[in-house]
Structure 1
Amino acid sequence: MSDTATTGSGLEQTRRLGVETTGIEIIEESERTARPQDLFWPWFAANVSVFGLSYASFVLYFGISFWQSVVVSVIGIVVSFLLCGVIAIAGKRGSAPTMILSRAAFGVNGQKVPGVISWLTSIGWETFLAILAVLATSTIFTRLGWGGGTGTKVVAAVVVAALVVSASVAGYHIIMRMQSVLTWITGIVTVLYMVLTLDEIDFSAVMDIPSGSTQAVIGALVMVMTGFGLGWINIAADWSRYQKRTASGPSIVVWNTLGGALAPVVLVLFGLALAGSSTEILDGVAGDPIGTLATLLPTWFLVPFLLAAILSLVSGAVLGIYSSGLTLLSLGVKLKRPQAAAVDGVLLTIGTIYVVFFADNFINPFQSFLITLGVPLAAWAGIMIADLALRKRDYDEDALFDASGRYGAFDRAAIGTMAVASVVGWGLVVNLFADDASWNNWQGYLLGPLGLGGKDGTWAFANVGVLVALVIGLVGGYLLRRRTVAHQEA
């Protein structure tokens, strides 16, 4: 039998097993069978995690009232996932991963600049979710008297990593089926959690929380946006690239936004009432979010809660590692998609082991990490949204892989806009965790010169740099690249 026949036979066998063989190449027309409503499942399953309850504590830590927190949470969650929905339109237009489509704006080689940022963000997110799953297992096993020490953590780390890597290696089709099942499991358990902890809410204590400053409200808004939609925006088109070419753009935006925002809005609002009722819950979340929430439950519900918590966290990590593998390929790494996912899985495992067994605190460094990468990621998102608004036609798919094609090797306007937006943005954010993440203490250098009170002033905690970077990227990308895009489409 010839080598070609053998390869073809192996490919067909792989497809029968349900493993996705497509990497960063353009999806064939015959494979583009998804509908806009199909986007609901992966986004909902990845965000229905009870960890969403924990964000309420992070919001309240900004020193704002319950009603201020409600407004901040709803606006931040919905708007950030709406931006994901807009980016998802690119997937339908080009049938390629987000970072490959980003080449139209940054150039085929210039895309590597935001590509590295995207890859680091995805690796950070998936590792963070895996860490939460391991710590939750340890806490609940301790509560049940089963032992939650080193042995439990080791086994949990291995199991979580195996689940995440296996699903991500299998690829799009299996993940989509898995997410539709996990949505129901995690959704039902989460609703039961809310019912069982309803009597923990003290509405009088919640309403007594004093209001905070405008700067504190903005800071909480930025944190919510980076923690939810902006944390996913760099992979939004990865899940829409299988959409039919005739799919409605507005429908893609709506289903993407609904799937991503629905569960977090409900969970964070309930979490605000829960955390606002007890300083013990409010403070406990910082060290072990899922484990702290489990302390409110009756013993008989701990196992279902643990399973649902792990599955929901794994669900989010799977989306992250699948897309981080695609991003790694977009940077020019010569691997197959399953191999790239496996490489990122190794990094996830190493990161999880280090944080769980050697780091003293991971929530604070993680939030500092989020804000730092959130600035250039917001700038990239603004440029991409401007690029989408300027284009009237679908992407030239061949040119996305040809540095001498219509998109060129580098788009100096896009790269320059991202650089300026990042420099300005970093100058307007402050590392709120100077002791735990001292490597970020260089930020905030524009707060003094611009008359905003310096690093110790009231605006220091607003972290407006993320929003400023988004606006600079959007406006700069639109104004500076209008002629370029028109020329590309001529």
Structure 2
Amino acid sequence: MSSTSSGQSAGQLETRGIEPVPEGECNGHPLQLFWVWFAANISILGLPLGATLVAFRGLAIWQAIIVAILGAAGSFAVVGIISIAGRRGRAPSLTLSRAIFGVRGNIGPTLVSLMSRLGWETVNTTTAAFVLLSLCSILFGSPVEAKSAPVLTLIFIAIFVLLTLAVSGLGHATLLVIQKWATYVFGALNILVGGFLCATIDWSAVFNATPAPLSAMIIGVGTMAAGTGIGWANAGADMSRYQHRSVKAARLVTSAAFGAGIPLVLLITLGGLLSVGNNDLASATDPIIAIRDMLPTWMAVPYLITAFGGLLLSNNLSVYSAGLTTLTLGLKVKRVHAVIVDIVAIFAGSIYFMLIADSFYGPFITFISLLAVP
């Protein structure tokens, strides 16, 4: 396997926790981070974000594009700014923040960050399991409802968390390689799916749409930032701690802003285009099914594979960061064991929300959205 910036090879276990990275192992370059952020934001779930801008905010498509650039790419520029601290301090974001809050004072923001991270990872895992249930229903005629197929649901949850563990558990070197090459595969699938979705756009309604007031755009920028870069801001230094000291700060900011901004702006724009004159996607309780219904029947399988891949790429980075955050709270275990602790929590949460609770998306997304405030 190829060697990466940390001096390790992909497939080799990263044993370092939150202690500073030695200077001799810091050989990273910004293009690596570009692919990491690109992969983490290639999920087709970016489409509902754009749908809300048009359906609920009333933005014209040119306004939605501006909002996507300012809100999504702009908020990831903030992630890039925080990455500068990782290059200088050689440690994860929430470890470096001890210098500001103190070890005890740092527990509060670290705990909130970990809860938010675990919440979104549970959303990813649950959604991915629903995707696999839907895929299995198409291919083999099995039930699509989780409670109607509990054993299958448990298997699908296990598949997703084990795939996440395989990458996040091995660590930094493996993450860099997997995120880069998987981006090519799932990026191509996203383009294929997006091409078919474009055929459903009402172009006459798009060109005749009335622009919304400036206030709606400002609110939209805040909504996009909260749903994209702000949630990743506390992980900015987690990957950049392996960057070479000679890397310029501007290149770190650019790699995050463009790496995440390119897929997000494209997906948000497409989501907005799909919602001109049609509120189905914006109001759907299950956006995965809503998007699938817009596609030809034969496209359902590649679409669901695309959705699963995007969720997995996002989860890889999130769980890696959550493992470092867990160590920052003071848990005296190895990094890989901290990742396993987080994986177990995600597995248990997904089982509860899929097989025990009456509903999931509405109340749970409200909960983790509230966590984003502090």
Q: Deviations over 1:360-417 (max 9, x none)?
A: 44333344234422222xxxxxxxxxxxxxxxxxxxxxxxxxxxxxxxxxxxxxxxxx
Which residue of the partner structure matches residue 253 of structure 2?
253
Which residue of the partner structure matches residue 59 of structure 1?
53
The answer to whether the 8 Å contact 2:53/2:59 transfers is no
* Pairing 1:179-258 to 2, within 5 Å after superposition: 179-207=179-207, 211-212=211-212, 215-258=215-258
The answer to whether the 8 Å contact 1:226/1:370 transfers is no
Which residue of the partner structure matches residue 264 of structure 1?
264
Which residue of the partner structure matches residue 471 of structure 1?
none
Which residue of the partner structure matches residue 77 of structure 1?
72
CA distance change for structure 1 residues 15 and 255 in 2, over 3 Å: closer, same or farther?
closer
- Amino acid of the residue matched to residue 274 of structure 1? L
User: What is the aligned length?
Assistant: 361
Q: 1:100 aligned to 2:98?
A: no
Moved more, 87-96 or 190-199: 190-199
Runs of 4+ in structure 1 deviating by more than 4 angstroms, as ranges, are 14-17, 207-216
- Percent of aligned positions with the same letter in both sequences? 34
In the alignment, which of 107, 110, 114 is matched to residue 105 of structure 2? 110
Residues in 1 aligned to 2:67 and 2:363: alpha-carbon distance in whole angstroms: 23
How many Å apart are 1:216 and its aligned residue? 4.2
Which residue of the partner structure matches residue 387 of structure 1?
none
The answer to whether the 8 Å contact 2:39/2:310 transfers is yes
Residues in 1 aligned to 2:55 and 2:130: alpha-carbon distance in whole angstroms: 22
* Pairing 1:386-401 to 2, within 5 Å after superposition: none
Give unmatched runs, 5+ long, in structure 1: 1-13, 377-490
Residues in 2 aligned to 1:172 and 1:80: alpha-carbon distance in whole angstroms: 24
The answer to whether the 8 Å contact 2:48/2:281 transfers is no
CA distance change for structure 1 residues 51 and 78 in 2, over 3 Å: closer, same or farther?
same
How many Å apart are 1:16 and its aligned residue? 8.8
**TM-score, normalised to structure 1's length?**
0.69
Partner SS for 2:321: helix
How many Å apart are 1:37 and its aligned residue? 1.5
**TM-score, normalised to structure 2's length?**
0.90
CA distance change for structure 1 residues 197 and 231 in 2, over 3 Å: closer, same or farther?
same
Root mean square deviation of aligned Cα: 2.1
Which residue of the partner structure matches residue 162 of structure 2?
162
CA distance change for structure 1 residues 224 and 364 in 2, over 3 Å: closer, same or farther?
farther
Residues in 2 aligned to 1:46 and 1:306: alpha-carbon distance in whole angstroms: 17
Q: Deviations over 1:428-452 (max 9, x none)?
A: xxxxxxxxxxxxxxxxxxxxxxxxx
How many Å apart are 1:239 and its aligned residue? 0.7
The answer to whether the 8 Å contact 1:135/1:288 transfers is no
CA distance change for structure 1 residues 158 and 334 in 2, over 3 Å: closer, same or farther?
same
Flag the structure with more relative contact order, 1 or 2, with Cα contacts below 8 A and sequence separation at least 6: 2
Residues in 1 aligned to 2:190 and 2:256: alpha-carbon distance in whole angstroms: 21
Which residue of the partner structure matches residue 4 of structure 2?
none
Q: Which has the larger radius of gyration?
A: 1
- Amino acid of the residue matched to residue 202 of structure 1? D
Q: Deviations over 1:84-124 (max 9, x none)?
A: 00000011001111111111221233211211111111111
Residues in 2 aligned to 1:194 and 1:15: alpha-carbon distance in whole angstroms: 35
* Pairing 1:431-470 to 2, within 5 Å after superposition: none
Residues in 1 aligned to 2:224 and 2:279: alpha-carbon distance in whole angstroms: 21
Q: Deviations over 1:300-350 (max 9, x none)?
A: 333322222212101111111111111111111111100000000011111
Q: 1:37 aligned to 2:63?
A: no
How many Å apart are 1:177 and its aligned residue? 0.8
The answer to whether the 8 Å contact 1:324/1:344 transfers is yes
